[in-house]
Amino acid sequence: MPGEKEADKKEAADKKQLSRRDFLVAGGTAVAVEALIPAISAKAAPPSPAGTTYPASKGYLVYDSKKCAGCTTCMLSCSLVHYGVQNLSRSRIQIMQDSWGKFPDDIKMAPCRQCLVPVCVQNCPVGAAFIDTAHGNVRRIDNKKCIGCKTCIKMCPQQPHRTVWVVIDGQGQSSKCDLCLDTPYWEEKGGPGGKQACVEACPMMAIKFVAQTPNQEQTEGYDVNLRNDHWLNLGLVDNSTVTPKTSLAWPKME
Amino acid sequence: MTGGYTGKILRVNLTTKAVSTIDTAKYEEFGGGHGIGSAVFFDLVGDQLPFQAFDPRNLIIMMTSPFSGTFMPGSGRCEVQGLGPMLYPVEWFGHSNFGGRFTAQLKFAGWDGIVVEGASDEPVWINIVNDKVKIESANGIWGMDTWDTQEEISRRVIPSLRHGEWAELADNCFTTQIPAVVCCGPAGENKSRLGCLLHGPGSQAALCGFGGVFGSKKLKAISAIGSKDVPIADPKAFMAARLWFRQFQWNVDNPREPEKFAAAGPYALISGRPSGGNVLNRELPLTPARAAACASCPRGCRMRLATGDSNESVCAGTMVISVEGSLKFTRQGNDVMQRYGLGHWQLMPLMSYVQTLYKEGILGKGKQLDTNLPLDNPGTFAYAEELMRLIALRKGIGNDLAEGCARFAEKIGRYEQDVNSGALGLAYWGTANHYDPAIEAEWGFGSLLGERDLMLHMMSNYPLHWMAWSGAPYVTAEEAAKLYTDAMEPYQGDVFMVDHSDGPTGIYSDSKVKQVAWIKHYEKFWVGAGGFCGWRWPMCITNNTADRRGPTPKAEPKFWNAVTGKNLTFADYMEIGHKIYTLDRSIWVLQGRHRNMEVFPDYIYDRPSRGHDMPMYVDGRWKYDKGVGRKMDREKVEDFKTRFYKFEGYNPDNGYPTRATLEKMNLKKVADQLKSKNKLG
């Protein structure tokens, strides 16, 4: 199908864009797994062999950490639509803040990057972490298969790790952002082409779904500027040389 | 119990060091927050009243609501209750609340609230990590300011804590969040009646003096962090409600009529736009900053600055200290107030009073009230810092000032004179005057018939107060009256509830009686029991919709029912608010409240008002008018009170709740207690 050909071309292009960071992470995987996971179930599948290629996700979450107000609505939305409860620890997007910190370093936003080389998928010993080729190549975790070995958590190259440990009925297992493909507590269709709970609920519109693969270098490709002049005109600048177009002065009090 | 509750309230006795639980279900009929807090207070110590705020029998009650820990917009407040040493002439059973993340973390730890009783011999703090609760020694923490205290406690709770990483809280339980700590500062440790509770860098429970109660119990702080679920009865409905609510929010990328509402000035306060609450970043060049929100708040009225000062402080928290010519020192001066743990709403009139006494030659070097304070330089950082230090540490003149405005004035023999003249700007139970009760009478009556300044801006007048003052109101006075009162179930349709004239339908009318009752019921249920922010709720009117209708009264039950699984109406919940108010009033009666005490200081009656534009119905038509020169009428105020008591089901002779009213509310035991003290209405 023409669409598939386009997708194949895109995938090939994405492969070419693999950063040195991605390569290093993928290349170091085997040794690290051996060190961290001493015993794996006999039934477990081995990690993906070196050289395996992966189709790029057709969706990503980018965000603006200078626009985030730290209300954690995105985290609670994530937890709600996936689990039917509200719990920051279950959220697949993490917002961390230091109330005494200095802007902009006081907030860190941490959604899953849907990595081009998905280390979680690559290293899952049982195939629970997988690429959902039927749904836009989203990197997902099948909670029915997850054995709770935490390999994906230990191997995630991001800080904090974007795979999230959840305990359900006393049983711990990994989870990760699925771009809202599987949301039993939300009526909306998710995934690429659909809606994401964090994007919809964020009152600052500081999270955005994009189809284009962000630049993979460090965090800059994901932490983008989503502010327009309306934001600036509130006096919320990221540079003291910037002057809002609207007046900030109050009328003189009576 | 279904959604919203964890099912248990933590009970900590600092005298015996016993830690136990109270079953939340026993108190579910009171909703949550303030309602449950009042009921617990009555059950535990109601039969022992009256006693003093610093008595070990006093309780510190900090309750969450079913909304705490959820994304219910603007529900991140923590209600603190107990006898308030700031309040005057009686340390009434009072309440004060603060924003931030505390109630969310308390709920995630698995608790619906905390009740602290008794007093410790040695300084302690309470450490809550999920189900584990420990009374810890405050060695090395007692004496610290509020900021250092929170940092040190966070380090002790999670030694491996690093900003931006996961930490293991307990076996297999992880979080990226830092512990939520609420504490007193040096002011509270020294039992100052100005002592506030502080959470984060700027979230104060400023009213009532609960920092002093912490100090009297040798309780430095409470820390909470958790990783548990908050159950939601109907998750789909709750998510749908949250997305439905977006229409009432400020649209940050495409706001409605930004040329009017985005500009600074009055609309910065009432438009719902982010960051408008910190007044200290309006001058060019601007300090780079973000809007900062309490847990689950879609507005984010605070800021965090690139300089890191005045972080998360708003309104009075950024206005008490003003250092001439230096924005930097002004911000840091206000931060000194936060670090000492001094309540801004009491410090503000106190500092003003000190200057008044200085100018009158009563206070100063070699004067009747002898002090070395550099009183002739009140606009300097040095003056402000030294004055706050003396108060917080009870040094020199600060020892008397730490008693708070009213008791300090009483001690120097000037209370009657200076309060009645207005030289000391108190209006309600030892707390400062706020909005002019001669014009915005619902604020005055709502405070007078409570136990401290109402401090609920959106409750009655805030959008109207600032809208007209801006000179560009977005609705006419007639439209404002209709929009407001349409939302005020169950009294909807009586437009004269917001008539601020002194005519027959104005500030003394039966319509105003209903408005004040509505305010008290909303205050007790939605704000008190629901943990709502008084800067956000109710929203009877808004600039963010085409028809200017706000989400009240549709939103409140929509969210509450989705979380809890109940199926009640807005009016049903308001009746619970009536019940909570009646219970509070019964407690005040047990402390000595009588209608004869519910009077304004003389200056409120005798001093002509400067007026303020508000909707008024004059000569058969609505308009924004000022009411310049108006004085409150003592006789009409008393008549208003008589009708209010009757309306609420209280005896108009004394203001006491009647048995019929109490029993109708399932408060028979309260009626019996009042009867035993010969105080049943």
- What pLDDT digit, counting tens, does each position of A152-167 carry? 999 999 999 999 999 9
* Range A227-240 burial, b when 16+ CB lie within 10 A, else e: beebbbbbbbbbee
Question: Chain A residues with CB inside 8 Å of B173's CB?
Answer: 89, 167
Of A73, A89, A241, nearest to B298 by CB-CB distance is A73
Confidence tier at A252 by pLDDT (50, 70, 90): low
CATH level 2 (architecture), domain B8-225:
4-Layer Sandwich (3.60)
Is the residue at A203 inside a domain? yes
Question: Chain B residues with CB inside 8 Å of A187's CB?
Answer: 236, 240
Q: What is the mean pLDDT of residues A61-72?
A: 98
Domain range for A219: 2-232
Given a cut of 90, is residue B301 above it in pLDDT? yes
Is the residue at A243 inside a domain? no
End-to-end CA distance of chain A: 72
Q: At a CB cut-off of 8 Å and minimum separation 6, what does B200 contact? A: A99, B100, B101, B150, B311, B312
Of A73, A100, A161, nearest to B311 by CB-CB distance is A100
Q: What is the per-residue pLDDT for B64?
A: 97
Reported in sequence order, the residue ranges of B323-362 that DSSP labels E, i.e. its strands, are none
pLDDT tens per residue, range B13-26 = 999 999 999 999 99
Chain A residue at shortest CA distance from B71: A73
Question: Chain A residues with CB inside 8 Å of B308's CB?
Answer: 100-102
pLDDT tens per residue, range B178-218 = 999 999 999 999 999 999 999 999 999 999 999 999 999 99
Is the residue at A251 inside a domain? no
- Per cent of chain B over pLDDT 70 is 100
Residue B149 near residue B338 (C-beta atoms within 8 A): no
* Range B222-260 burial, b when 16+ CB lie within 10 A, else e: bbbbbbbbbbbbbbbbbbbbbeebeebbbbbeebbebeb
Residue of A77, A91, A103, A207 for testing the chain B interface, max B β-carbons within 10 Å = A103
Structure tokens at B547: 């028809």
Is the residue at A200 inside a domain? yes
Q: How far is CA B323 from CA A162, B333, B382, B463, in A?
A: 46, 8, 9, 30
Question: Chain B residues with CB inside 8 Å of A99's CB?
Answer: 100, 200-201, 292, 304, 311-312
Q: What pTM, to 2 d.p., does this model score?
A: 0.94
What are phi and psi for residue B180, nearest 5 degrees? -95, 120
8 Å CB contact of B286 and A172: no
Is the residue at A242 inside a domain? no
Q: What distance in Å separates residue B172's CA from the closest CA in chain A? A: 8
Among 3.60.20.10, 1.10.599.10, 3.40.630.10, 1.10.357.10, name the CATH number for the domain at B431-676. 1.10.599.10
Confidence tier at A193 by pLDDT (50, 70, 90): very high
Of A73, A102, A235, nearest to B286 by CB-CB distance is A235
Alpha carbon dihedral B120, B121, B124, B130, in 10-degree steps, equals -40
Chain B residue at shortest CA distance from A238: B288
Residue A50 near residue A30 (C-beta atoms within 8 A): yes
Q: How far is CA B195 from CA A33, B321, B522, B528, B544, in A?
A: 54, 17, 27, 21, 38
Residue B79 near residue B47 (C-beta atoms within 8 A): no
Given a cut of 50, is residue B87 above it in pLDDT? yes
- Give chain A's mean pLDDT: 84
Q: What is the mean pLDDT of residues B653-662?
A: 98
Q: What is the per-residue pLDDT for A15?
A: 41
Q: At a CB cut-off of 8 Å and minimum separation 6, what does A198 contact? A: A61, A74, A75, A77, A78, A93, A111, A207
Rounded CA separation A126/B257 (Å): 55
Q: What distance in Å separates residue A201's CA from the closest CA in chain B? A: 6
Chain-centroid distance, C-alpha B218: 24
Residue of B103, B183, B253 for testing the chain A interface, max A β-carbons within 10 Å = B253
Rounded CA separation A45/B94 (Å): 63
Q: How far is CA B399 from CA B84, B181, B337, B390, B411, in A?
A: 19, 28, 17, 7, 11
Q: At a CB cut-off of 8 Å and minimum separation 6, what does B616 contact? A: B477, B499, B500, B501, B503, B506, B622, B623, B624, B625, B627
Rounded CA separation A239/B61 (Å): 44
Structure tokens at B230: 């908050």
Q: What is the mean pLDDT of residues B452-481?
A: 87
Confidence tier at B121 by pLDDT (50, 70, 90): very high
Is the residue at A239 inside a domain? no
Rounded CA separation B399/B390 (Å): 7
Structure tokens at B246: 């977006």
> Closest by alpha carbon to A98, among B585, B201, B259?
B201
3-class secondary structure, A232: helix
pLDDT tens per residue, range B308-350 = 999 999 988 999 999 999 999 999 999 999 999 999 999 999 9
For tokens 């503000």, name the residue: B348
Confidence tier at A29 by pLDDT (50, 70, 90): very low
Own/partner pairs, B650-656, CB within 8 angstroms, 24+ separation: B650/B582, B650/B585, B650/B681, B651/B681, B652/B595, B653/B595, B653/B681, B654/B594, B654/B595, B654/B679, B654/B681, B655/B585, B655/B589, B655/B593, B655/B594, B655/B595, B655/B598, B655/B681, B656/B589, B656/B594, B656/B680, B656/B681
Confidence tier at B461 by pLDDT (50, 70, 90): low
Q: What distance in Å separates residue B334's CA from the closest CA in chain A? A: 14
Question: Chain B residues with CB inside 8 Å of A108's CB?
Answer: 163-164
Confidence tier at B283 by pLDDT (50, 70, 90): confident
Domain boundaries along the sequence of chain B: 8-225, 431-676
8 Å CB contact of B254 and A236: no
Residue B3 near residue B234 (C-beta atoms within 8 A): yes
For tokens 């505390």, name the residue: B102
Given a cut of 60, is residue B254 above it in pLDDT? yes
Q: What distance in Å separates residue B548's CA from the closest CA in chain A? A: 20
Rounded CA separation B181/B178 (Å): 9
Rounded CA separation B179/B74 (Å): 21
Of A66, A172, A240, nearest to B287 by CB-CB distance is A240
Residue B203 near residue B312 (C-beta atoms within 8 A): yes
> Residue B462's CB: how many other CB atoms inside 10 A?
19
Given a cut of 80, is residue B680 above it in pLDDT? yes
Name the burial class of residue B635, with classes exposed (0-12), middle (13-18) and buried (19+) by CB atoms within 10 angstroms of its CB.
exposed
What are phi and psi for residue A140, nearest 5 degrees? -135, 170
* DSSP secondary structure code for residue B178 in this structure: P
* Range A17-26 burial, b when 16+ CB lie within 10 A, else e: eeeeebeebb
Count, residues in chain B: 681
Reported in sequence order, the residue ranges of B413-496 that DSSP labels E, i.e. its strands, are 426-428, 431-432
Question: Chain A residues with CB inside 8 Å of B307's CB?
Answer: 102
Domain total for chain A?
1
8 Å CB contact of B298 and A71: yes
* Range B109-128 burial, b when 16+ CB lie within 10 A, else e: bbbbbbbbbbbbeebbbbbb
**Pairing mode, strands B614-618 and B621-625:** antiparallel
Confidence tier at A244 by pLDDT (50, 70, 90): confident
